A and B are shown apart, each in its own frame.
Chain A
Amino acid sequence: MAVKETHGVRFEQICKSFGEVKALRPLNLEIKPGEFLTLLGPSGSGKTTLLNIVAGFLDPDDGRLILGGQDVTALPPRARNIGMVFQNYALFPHMSVAENVAYGLKVRGVKGMALQRQVNEALEMVQLGGYGERAIDQLSGGQQQRVALARAMVIEPDLLLMDEPLGALDRQLRKHVQLEIRRLHTKSPRTTIYVTHDQEEALVMSDRVAIMRNGRIVQIGTPGELYEKPDSAYIARFLGESNLLPVKVLGVEKDRIAYSIRGYEGTFSTPAKGQAENTPGEAQLLIRPEALRVSQTDGNSLRVVVEEVVYLGELTATKLRFADGQEGWLRAMKSPAHQPGAVIRVTWAPEDTRLLPAKD
């Protein structure tokens, strides 16, 4: 398929309440043409509401939705040229696979050979060539998912929406389809908003991820930015494993922040640039499990007790207990096997740590 010029999306002050419940607080967001953006958050965080507003199934209480430079807030769903993949696929049960895929084309007046050709191409694209005459209930869950994808893509939408499209698939299949969707997106980049509550899915597939909580976007960035530079302990915990230690920020000297760790003597420091927290007082220190190393010397290190060693194949995870009773993990390719109960010292590179606000 030829790469089509695709549209960006802009949300301006979009908000929505259901009675007393504020599902979306005034929200601004810009999605670049061809970008794959994931809305990630727990259920009830507003991501599905936002998706429904984009699709036109819900009216925002206020705000504007700009699609490709045009205000589409007032347009009904049928006039927006948006493709949508639903969580339960919402395939028309009384139509064959080909009829499902052809539906949006027929509405657009495509007929005869052109219709057949485009439907076949779309089915080939999702590797379902030759399945056109099948009934929907003869397909497996993964195949139904791909039909839904073909049906949404065949209309060449300006924007593709996916609402937890892999939620109903088993883990094995989910991984496969994730990569498949990613492949299709790389092949012909199309502005996509993807909703999920699965952090791994978000990290694997997206150009950028917006993390939602209580009707707000709390942080947005590339998967790497979010993983390495989360703004809060909430996000750190949401994406990946994390060691969070209670610390006290002592002050900023030159371009370094000094802090002490509860339960340990001495002061530590980290580069001040780009930290989420730098005001003196209570804070949390984030060290990812893979940033911790076993140390042979005393400098810049903490005494911990080994609680448990878990072999994960190529990796070994060691469960640690810090001096104030806090639990944590160390993960390494080859870590020397320690006996539970052993006392070891762990260290890290100062630039691999991040200071976060004490409160979530």
Chain B
Amino acid sequence: MTRVETTHAWRGHDQRLGRAAMTFLLFLPALIFLAVWFVWPLGQLILLSFQGEDGAFAAYQEILTSEVFRIVFFNTLKLAVLVTIICTILAYPAAWLLTRVKGFWFSIALYCILVPFWISILVRTFSWMLLLERSGPVNNFLITLGVTDQPLKLLFNDLGVYIGMVHVLLPYAVLPIYSSMLKIDQRLLLASDSLGASGRTTFFKIFLPLTLPGVTAGATFVFLLALGFYITPALLGGPHNLTAAMLIDSFVNERLVWPLAAAASVILLVIVLVVLAVTSRFVSLGSSVVVK
């Protein structure tokens, strides 16, 4: 009997080992891929950021002390914050509308969010370039309405950048807010009504607080994406609308100063990680990411 028991212990051990090995094998391609094509390149870049000609921290020092770079980073942050605020405010009624409509109109409303999500950022940005042109439809429309008699300058300035970025990033704000609205137990609202609360009170004391996790998640996504944005500001902005991503591009492609580019992107990454660490304390971003 004892002998039988030992062989069984072996067998169980063996099978568990085989199972673990199989699980590991399933992860192996992902592991190798991420190591070679993600961790290694990023590691190289981080190493590069410490290889300035004048000492390990020279690149960081140059970026942090240079007036121009400070302004660019400040502008990028300002742009990201403002775009986040505008997106959140616009997303809220859109998400609410999604919870109110049914059937055919719901499908239409949902596709209004999902289709732009899928379509190339470049194509969407190009569309805005065509629309906001001097002789484009928006200017024509404004002139027809009599709002203005001269075509307005809507492109290659702040306005163009804001319109384009809000448009591109808006779906990222709508979906998490919508899913948080869906989760609200309707009985809570009825309870508040029946306790005599006004519509305004019910909204601000019950509805809004319950959607805050969705708002936080949506705002975080928009902010993080806006921070590293490149295409839209580069095409719709003017010379003054330089963002951190464009600065990094110019370091690499025009000035060929790799340590500066590396250091700037590390700084960008650190900001992203700090924002993520802070917001993930309040809300589970993971559950919202699945929305897409």
Residues of B within 8 A of A45 (CB): none
Chain A residues numbered 31-84 whose CB sits less than 8 Å from any CB in chain B: 59-64, 73-74
Residues of B within 8 A of A61 (CB): 12
Whether A62 lies near B15 (C-beta < 8 A) is: no
Q: Tell me, in angstroms, the Cα distance from A74 to B15 when the chains sit together.
A: 10
Q: Tell me, in angstroms, the Cα distance from A74 to B7 when the chains sit together.
A: 9
Q: What are the interface flags for A262-298 relative to B under an 8 Å C-beta threshold, 1 for contact and 0 otherwise?
A: 0000000000000000000000000000000000000
Count chain A residues whose beta carbon lies closer than 8 angstroms to a beta carbon of B: 8
Residue of B4, B5, B7, B15 near A59 (CB, 8 A) is B15
The reply on B11 being an interface residue by CB < 8 A is yes
Q: Tell me, in angstroms, the Cα distance from A61 to B12 when the chains sit together.
A: 8
Whether B15 lies near A64 (C-beta < 8 A) is: no
Residues of B within 8 A of A59 (CB): 11-12, 15
The secondary-structure label for the interface of chain A is loop
Whether A62 lies near B5 (C-beta < 8 A) is: yes
Q: What are the interface flags for B1-22 relative to A under an 8 Å C-beta threshold, 1 for contact and 0 otherwise?
A: 0001101100110010000000
Q: Tell me, in angstroms, the Cα distance from A120 to B164 when the chains sit together.
A: 65
Q: Tell me, in angstroms, the Cα distance from A64 to B4 when the chains sit together.
A: 8
Q: Tell me, in angstroms, the Cα distance from A108 to B12 when the chains sit together.
A: 27
Closest to A71 in B: B4
Residues of B within 8 A of A74 (CB): 7-8, 11
Q: How far is the CB of B3 from chain A (nearest CB, A)?
A: 12
Q: Tell me, in angstroms, the Cα distance from A59 to B8 when the chains sit together.
A: 10
Which of B4, B5, B11 has most A Cβ within 10 Å? Answer: B4
Q: Tell me, in angstroms, the Cα distance from A139 to B14 when the chains sit together.
A: 42
Residues of A within 8 A of B12 (CB): 59, 61
Closest to B7 in A: A74
Chain B residues numbered 225-258 whose CB sits less than 8 Å from any CB in chain A: none
Q: How far is the CB of A297 from chain B (nearest CB, A)?
A: 61
Residues of A within 8 A of B7 (CB): 74
Residues of A within 8 A of B4 (CB): 64
Q: Tell me, in angstroms, the Cα distance from A99 to B11 when the chains sit together.
A: 35
Q: Tell me, in angstroms, the Cα distance from A73 to B11 when the chains sit together.
A: 10
Residues of B within 8 A of A73 (CB): 8, 11
Q: Tell me, in angstroms, the Cα distance from A61 to B15 when the chains sit together.
A: 13
Closest to B1 in A: A13
Q: Tell me, in angstroms, the Cα distance from A74 to B5 when the chains sit together.
A: 12
Q: How far is the CB of A8 from chain B (nearest CB, A)?
A: 20
Q: Tell me, in angstroms, the Cα distance from A227 to B100 when the chains sit together.
A: 60
Q: Tell me, in angstroms, the Cα distance from A226 to B280 when the chains sit together.
A: 60
Closest to B12 in A: A59
Residues of A within 8 A of B15 (CB): 59
Q: How far is the CB of A53 from chain B (nearest CB, A)?
A: 12
Q: Tell me, in angstroms, the Cα distance from A74 to B9 when the chains sit together.
A: 11
Q: How far is the CB of B171 from chain A (nearest CB, A)?
A: 33
Residues of B within 8 A of A64 (CB): 4, 8
Residues of A within 8 A of B5 (CB): 62
Q: How far is the CB of B2 from chain A (nearest CB, A)?
A: 11
Q: Tell me, in angstroms, the Cα distance from A59 to B13 when the chains sit together.
A: 11
Q: How far is the CB of B17 from chain A (nearest CB, A)?
A: 13
Closest to B14 in A: A74
Q: How far is the CB of B16 from chain A (nearest CB, A)?
A: 9
Q: Tell me, in angstroms, the Cα distance from A62 to B11 when the chains sit together.
A: 11
Q: Tell me, in angstroms, the Cα distance from A99 to B124 when the chains sit together.
A: 49
Residues of B within 8 A of A63 (CB): 8
Closest to A61 in B: B12
Q: How far is the CB of B138 from chain A (nearest CB, A)?
A: 51
Chain B residues numbered 1-52 whose CB sits less than 8 Å from any CB in chain A: 4-5, 7-8, 11-12, 15
Residues of B within 8 A of A62 (CB): 5, 8
Q: How far is the CB of A231 from chain B (nearest CB, A)?
A: 28
Closest to A13 in B: B1
Q: Tell me, in angstroms, the Cα distance from A62 to B4 when the chains sit together.
A: 9
8 residue pairs bridging A and B, Cβ less than 8 Å apart: A59-B11, A61-B12, A62-B8, A64-B4, A73-B8, A74-B7, A74-B8, A74-B11
New A-B contacts (12) at CB < 8 Å, excluding given A59-B15, A61-B12, A73-B11? A59-B11, A59-B12, A60-B8, A62-B5, A62-B8, A63-B8, A64-B4, A64-B8, A73-B8, A74-B7, A74-B8, A74-B11
Top 4 A-B pairs ranked by shortest CB distance? A74-B11, A59-B12, A62-B5, A64-B4
